[in-house]
Amino acid sequence: MTLITENKIFGGVQSVHEHRSEACDCDMRVAVFTPDGVKDAPVLIWLSGLTCTEQNFITKAGAQRMAAQLGMVIVAPDTSPRGDHVPDTEDRYDFGKGAGFYLDATQDPWAKNFNMETYIRDELTAWIGENLPVDMARMGILGHSMGGHGALTLHLKNPERFKTCSAFSPIVAPSQVPWGQKAFEGYLGKNEATWANYDATALVTATLSPANILIDQGLDDDFLAEHLRTDIFERACAESGQPATIRMQPGYDHSYYFIATFIEDHLRHHAAGLA
């Protein structure tokens, strides 16, 4: 493990580390905010969206203020494997590097490196348990857009590991929208039966989480109608009985300005669920 940067903020420390991922066969960067003096703290994993690295959330969301106040550690990993040996697309922001979709790819040439589900669920959580002053029994997960998809699916499949969940502007039904269909076909192949395992709407009809899921979605989000489709997940939750608080926010878009506005609500949601 290598320490890349370390900056004091709100009395705590915002650090960036690099550590080895076997699942992704590369070194991965991960950002960590640690409030001053915490021990056995609750911990959140933040999953970012398309094109992001570990930097976007820690520089733009303004989450450290409330995390310091609540005594929560926040871990923000990168969104895909990285390195010259990792395959990529030349002209697509929504596939390849920066677009790992929090799944384990089965198709060549992606399968060797694009195993973000295993990385987040097993390797990153093990790294957190070994290196951070947290209580692993109090871990939540949240994210934005593609990272909202990651948070919902990882929570629904592992509710005992990621006990609380929330999302901003998540891709809730990837099997039914272009962003998800293109990613799933590339990473998982054309057999749509394999897609359901990474589709929050499909998952929530099969298995329920005891936690109440919080979702904020901006009504002026340019991606809402085509790619996000909050309505599909809202209907699935209602039909299956999954507890969810889904808030459609007038005037807000897909940007970090939206996230910054409501991140305090999300941290309080997790703090209450992990108390």
Cα–Cα distance measured from residue 153 to residue 173, given in angstroms and rounded to the nearest whole number = 10
Per-residue tokens: 8: 């004091």
Helix (H) or strand (E) holding 146: helix 146-157
Site for its own copies in 73-92 (CB under 8 A): none
Terminal alpha carbon distance of the chain: 30
The verdict on whether 254 is a catalytic residue reads yes
Cα–Cα distance measured from residue 136 to residue 252, given in angstroms and rounded to the nearest whole number = 34
Site string for its own copies, 201-220 (x = CB under 8 A): -----------------x-x
Among 19, 65, 92, 161, binds its own copies (CB under 8 A): 65
Is the CB of 102 or the CB of 258 nearer to its own copies?
Answer: 258
Catalytic residue among 144, 227, 254, 266: 254
Site for its own copies in 222-261 (CB under 8 A): 251-253, 255-258, 260-261
CB distance 34 to 266 below 8 Å: no
The verdict on whether 80 is a catalytic residue reads no
Cα–Cα distance measured from residue 93 to residue 155, given in angstroms and rounded to the nearest whole number = 26
Burial 75-110 (b: 16+ CB within 10 A, else e): bbbbbbbbeeebebeeeeebbbbbbbbbbbbeeeeb
Cα–Cα distance measured from residue 87 to residue 32, given in angstroms and rounded to the nearest whole number = 27
Asked whether position 11 contacts its own copies by CB under 8 A, the answer is yes
The verdict on whether 17 is a catalytic residue reads no
Piece of 38-46, 55-63, 165-173, 267-275 that binds its own copies (CB under 8 A):
55-63
Site string for its own copies, 151-170 (x = CB under 8 A): --------------------
CB of 30 to its own copies, least distance (A): 17
Catalytic residue among 94, 216, 221, 270: 221
Asked whether position 189 contacts its own copies by CB under 8 A, the answer is no
Per-residue tokens: 47: 């999953």
Catalytic residue set: 145, 221, 254
The site for its own copies (CB under 8 A) is made up of 7-11, 14, 59-60, 62, 64-65, 218, 220, 251-253, 255-258, 260-261
